[in-house]
Amino acid sequence: MLNNTPESDNAEMLADYALMFGGLCSEICKMKRYAMDRLMQWKNSKDRRPLLIMGARQVGKTWLMREFGHLQ
């Protein structure tokens, strides 16, 4: 018997996304860790200079700095 409720459609869609993007999630987590590690290196360096963060729009620059400030 088919269950064509919106809830079942959402569950199937989420399961598909999990399969498609499961590997992508681990790569994103690695990139976030790498960025945080680089910020920690900058913070702990004795001769650090002002920090300039550049990148494309909506890639997480503001989130990264807010998270860094929150963790430190």
Q: Is residue 44 part of a domain?
A: yes
Contact status, residue 31 vs residue 67, Cβ threshold 8 Å: no
Computed from CA positions of residues 45, 48, 51, 55, in that sequence, does the dihedral angle turn out positive or negative?
negative
Question: Distance between CA 13 and CA 34 in Å, rounded?
Answer: 31
Q: Is the pLDDT of residue 62 over 80?
A: yes
pLDDT-based confidence at residue 44 (cuts at 50, 70, 90): very high
Looking at residues 48-55, what average pLDDT do you find? Answer: 92
Per-residue pLDDT reduced to its tens digit, 5-21? 555 566 676 666 666 66
pLDDT-based confidence at residue 1 (cuts at 50, 70, 90): very low
**What's the pTM?**
0.60
- Domain interval for residue 59: 6-71
Q: How many domains does the chain have?
A: 1
Q: Supply the pLDDT for residue 32.
A: 82
How far does CA 69 lie from the centroid of its chain?
16
Q: Is residue 1 part of a domain?
A: no
Say how many residues make up the chain. Answer: 72
Q: Is residue 32 part of a domain?
A: yes
